C-alpha cells in the first residue's frame, strides 16, 4: 500500500470513528478518566503512580479467560494462537510509572500459579482461588502460568511513552486507535511508522532506505494471513536499510520470519514483544547478512527459532557481525533459542553477543547429530563459512522436564536458499551446502544456569569438529550449572569429540 493510500485509509477511518463517538471515542474517554482516578486512589498505590491503558478497538475480540486491573484500571486481554500445548494463550499491555498494584483474575484456579521469569522478582499473593495480586515499580515482561504452558497470560508493563508522533506529522505514517487493514506498508528514507496504543494494524512492513523508525504501543497483526502468504515476505522486512529502529510494538501471529533485517547496517530493536507460534517458520528476529544489530529488552515467543542470524544468497556474502542481544525473554515451542549458521551464505559470522537472557521454555526431541536439532545454543556453520567471537553470558534457563540439549557446536553441511528466488516463485527451494563451516573459534559461555525440571538429558553439551580442515577451537565454559550441579569435562552428557581443541571448563 502506498503512502497516499494509507493516508486516504486513515482519513476514512477517522471519519467513521467520528460518526460513531459512543462506540469508540467515548469508550476511550471514560476508560481514561477512570484510570486517572484510580491511579492515585487505589488502596496501597503509590500517590505519584501513573497508569495508561489502551482499550481494545471495536471489532477486536477480547478474551474473558483472564481479567487484568492495574490500580483499578481495566486492561483488555487479547488472544494469541499456537498449535502446541492446549492451543491458545493470551497477552495484555499497559504503561505505568511509580508503584502500582496488579490484579489478575482467571477463569480457572490460580492455586498453582507460577510467574516466569523468576528474575522478575514478582511474588504474587493469592487473594482468592482465582485472583492473584502483586505490586511492581518498574517495567516488566512476565508469563503468568496457571497450568504450565497451557493457556498462559503474557503481561507487558511498559514505561510511559515519550515523544510520540501525532497524526499529520511530516513523514509519519500514523495509525490511531482502531482496526486497520492496510496490507503492505512501504517505508522509505526518513519516514516513521507509528501504531498508537489501541491500534491493531493487519499487514506487514517493507522498509528500504536510511533513518527509518517503526514504533508505537499498537499491535501489528498477521493472524489473517496463511503460512508464508502475507502481504510482505516477512512481517517486518527491512531490506538493505541503514540506521533503522523498531521500538515498543507488539507483533502477533506472523506468517513467516517476524523481524528480518536483510543486508542492513545499524539496526536497533528495543522493547518489542513478539506473540508468535501461530505457524512454522515464524522465527522471531533473524539478522540476515546484517551488521551492527542491537536487540534489547524484547520478549519473543515463536514456534520456530527465537534468534537466528543467517546468510542468504543475494547480499554479496555480507557478514553477520557485531550483533548484540541483551535483557531479553525467549520462548520457542518447537525449535531453538539461538540457531547460528544454518544458512551460511555470508563472509563470516563473528562478534555475536547475548547477555542477561531468560529462557522461559524450550524443547529437545531430535538426535544431537541431526541438523534440525533443537536446543538452547545451536551453533552449526556451513558452506565453509568461518565463525568466531560468540559470547553468551548470564543466562537463566527454565527446563520443563523434556530432554535438555543445552549446547551444540558442530560445523555441518546444512542448506541454503535465495530470498530473491523465493520472492519470484513463492517456493522455498533449498540446496545442500557442499562443506561444513570452516571453523568455530573463540567462543565463551559464562554464568549459564539450567534449572527447573530435569528430563532425560541433564543439559547435554556437545562440541565436535567436522575434520582437520573444519575444527572447533578455544571454547570456554565458565560457571555453567545444570540443576545446581557445576559442569566439568567429566560431567554426564558432556561430549567433547574429535577435531575440538582447547575446550575448557572453569568454575
Tell me whether residue 166 is in a domain.
no
200 and 149 within one domain: no
CATH no. for residue 154?
A: 2.60.350
Integer CA distances (angstroms), 110 to 85, 123, 147, 485, in order = 18, 13, 8, 31
Residue 247: strand pairing partners: 215, 270
Tell me whether residue 167 is in a domain.
no
71-92: per-residue pLDDT in tens? 999 999 999 999 999 999 999 9
Question: Which whole number is the average pLDDT over 104-131?
Answer: 97
312-331: per-residue pLDDT in tens? 999 999 999 999 999 999 99
187 and 116 within one domain: no
313 and 366 within one domain: yes
* Residue 6 in this model has a pLDDT that exceeds 90: no
* pLDDT in the model for residue 368: 86
500 and 443 within one domain: yes
Number of structural domains in the chain: 2
101 and 250 within one domain: no
CATH no. for residue 383?
A: 2.160.20.10
Letter string b/e over residues 112-123, b meaning 16 or more CB atoms within 10 A of that residue's CB: ebebbbeebebe
- Which residue in 297, 33, 1 sits closest to 175, CA to CA? 1
> What's the CA gap between 58 and 100, in Å, rounded?
28
Domain endpoint, select from 158, 182, 199: 158
* pLDDT in the model for residue 454: 82
Question: Which whole number is the average pLDDT over 114-129?
Answer: 97
296 and 151 within one domain: no
Question: Which whole number is the average pLDDT over 217-225?
Answer: 98
Question: Which whole number is the average pLDDT over 40-57?
Answer: 79
Domain endpoint, select from 135, 158, 181: 158
194 and 79 within one domain: no
- Highest mean pLDDT: which range of 362-366, 372-376, 480-484: 480-484
* Residue 166 in this model has a pLDDT that exceeds 70: yes
- SS3 label, residue 41: helix
450-472: per-residue pLDDT in tens? 999 887 667 899 999 999 999 99
Question: Which whole number is the average pLDDT over 64-70?
Answer: 98
409-435: per-residue pLDDT in tens? 999 999 999 999 999 999 999 999 999
176 and 154 within one domain: no
204 and 154 within one domain: no
* pLDDT in the model for residue 30: 47
* Residue 173 in this model has a pLDDT that exceeds 50: yes
Tell me whether residue 230 is in a domain.
yes
Tell me the three cell numbers of residue 20.
460513531
* Lowest mean pLDDT segment, chosen from 205-219, 244-258, 363-377: 363-377
> What's the CA gap between 319 and 314, in Å, rounded?
12
* pLDDT in the model for residue 203: 98
* Residue 28 in this model has a pLDDT that exceeds 50: no
335 and 222 within one domain: yes
Question: Which whole number is the average pLDDT over 280-306?
Answer: 98
Question: Which whole number is the average pLDDT over 261-285?
Answer: 98
Tell me whether residue 163 is in a domain.
no
The chain-wide mean pLDDT, for the chain, equals 91
Tell me the three cell numbers of residue 216.
508505537
* Residue 14 in this model has a pLDDT that exceeds 90: no
Higher pLDDT, 162 or 38: 162
* Residue 507 in this model has a pLDDT that exceeds 50: yes
Higher pLDDT, 252 or 21: 252
Tell me whether residue 100 is in a domain.
yes
* pLDDT in the model for residue 177: 98
* pLDDT in the model for residue 4: 44
320 and 288 within one domain: yes
Specify burial of residue 70 (Cβ count, 10 A radius: 0-12, 13-18, 19+).
buried
Domain endpoint, select from 158, 189, 207: 158
Question: Which whole number is the average pLDDT over 269-292?
Answer: 98
191 and 119 within one domain: no
How many other C-beta atoms can be found within 10 angstroms of the C-beta atom of residue 195? Answer: 24
- Which residue in 203, 194, 253, 256 sits closest to 228, CA to CA? 256
* pLDDT in the model for residue 42: 52
Domain that holds residue 128: 3-158
Q: What is the CA radius of gyration of the chain?
A: 23
* pLDDT in the model for residue 45: 61
Tell me whether residue 164 is in a domain.
no
* pLDDT in the model for residue 36: 44
% of residues, the chain, pLDDT over 70? 91
* pLDDT in the model for residue 363: 87
* pLDDT in the model for residue 9: 45
% of residues, the chain, pLDDT over 90? 86
Q: Is the pTM of this model over 0.85?
A: yes
* pLDDT in the model for residue 395: 98
Amino acid at each position: 500500500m502506498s503512502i497516499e493510500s494509507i493516508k486516504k485509509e486513515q482519513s476514512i477511518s477517522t471519519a467513521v470513528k467520528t460518526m460513531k463517538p459512543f462506540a469508540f471515542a467515548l469508550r476511550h474517554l471514560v476508560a481514561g478518566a477512570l484510570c486517572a482516578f484510580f491511579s492515585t486512589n487505589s488502596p496501597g498505590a503509590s500517590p505519584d503512580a501513573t497508569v495508561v491503558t489502551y482499550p481494545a478497538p471495536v471489532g477486536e475480540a477480547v478474551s474473558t479467560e483472564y481479567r487484568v486491573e492495574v490500580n483499578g484500571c481495566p486492561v483488555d486481554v487479547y488472544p494469541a494462537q499456537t498449535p502446541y500445548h492446549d492451543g491458545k494463550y493470551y497477552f495484555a499491555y499497559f504503561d505505568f510509572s511509580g508503584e502500582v498494584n496488579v490484579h489478575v483474575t482467571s477463569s480457572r484456579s490460580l492455586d498453582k500459579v507460577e510467574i516466569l521469569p523468576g528474575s522478575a522478582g514478582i511474588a504474587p499473593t493469592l487473594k482468592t482461588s482465582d485472583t492473584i495480586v502483586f505490586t511492581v515499580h518498574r517495567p516488566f515482561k512476565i508469563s503468568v502460568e496457571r497450568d504450565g504452558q497451557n493457556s498462559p497470560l503474557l503481561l507487558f508493563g511498559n514505561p510511559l511513552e515519550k515523544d510520540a508522533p501525532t497524526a499529520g506529522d511530516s513523514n509519519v505514517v500514523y495509525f490511531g486507535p482502531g482496526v486497520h487493514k492496510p496490507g503492505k506498508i512501504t517505508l522509505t528514507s526518513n519516514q516513521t511508522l507509528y501504531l498508537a496504543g489501541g491500534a491493531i494494524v493487519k499487514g506487514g512492513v517493507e522498509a528500504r532506505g536510511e533513518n527509518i523508525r517503526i514504533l508505537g504501543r499498537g499491535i501489528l497483526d498477521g493472524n489473517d494471513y496463511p503460512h508464508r502468504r502475507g502481504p510482505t515476505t516477512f512481517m517486518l522486512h527491512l531490506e538493505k536499510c541503514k540506521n533503522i529502529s523498531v521500538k515498543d510494538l507488539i507483533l502477533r501471529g506472523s506468517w513467516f520470519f517476524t523481524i528480518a533485517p536483510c543486508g542492513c547496517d545499524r539496526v536497533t530493536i528495543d522493547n518489542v514483544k513478539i506473540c508468535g507460534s501461530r505457524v512454522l517458520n515464524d522465527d522471531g528476529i533473524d539478522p540476515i547478512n546484517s551488521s551492527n544489530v542491537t536487540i534489547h529488552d524484547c520478549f519473543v515467543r515463536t514456534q520456530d527459532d527465537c534468534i537466528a542470524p543467517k546468510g542468504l544468497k543475494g547480499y554479496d556474502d555480507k557478514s553477520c557481525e557485531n550483533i548484540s542481544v541483551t535483557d531479553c525473554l525467549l520462548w520457542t515451542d518447537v525449535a531453538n533459542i539461538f540457531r547460528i549458521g544454518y544458512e551460511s551464505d555470508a563472509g563470516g559470522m563473528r562478534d555475536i553477543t547475548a547477555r542477561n537472557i531468560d529462557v522461559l521454555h524450550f524443547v529437545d526431541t531430535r538426535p544431537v547429530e541431526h541438523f534440525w536439532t533443537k536446543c538452547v545454543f545451536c551453533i552449526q556453520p556451513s558452506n565453509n563459512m568461518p565463525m568466531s567471537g560468540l559470547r553468551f553470558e548470564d543466562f537463566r534457563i527454565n527446563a520443563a522436564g523434556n530432554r535438555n540439549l543445552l549446547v551444540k557446536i558442530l560445523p555441518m553441511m546444512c542448506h541454503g536458499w535465495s530470498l530473491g528466488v523465493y520472492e519470484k516463485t513463492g517456493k522455498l527451494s533449498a540446496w545442500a551446502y557442499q562443506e561444513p563451516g570452516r571453523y568455530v573459534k573463540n567462543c565463551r559461555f559464562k554464568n549459564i544456569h539450567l534449572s527447573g525440571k530435569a528430563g532425560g538429558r541433564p543439559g547435554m553439551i556437545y562440541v565436535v569438529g567436522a575434520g582437520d580442515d573444519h575444527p572447533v577451537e578455544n571454547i570456554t565454559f565458565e560457571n555453567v550449572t545444570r540443576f545446581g550441579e557445576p559442569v566439568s569435562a567429566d560431567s554426564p552428557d558432556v561430549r567433547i569429540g574429535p577435531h575440538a581443541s582447547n575446550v575448557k571448563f572453569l568454575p
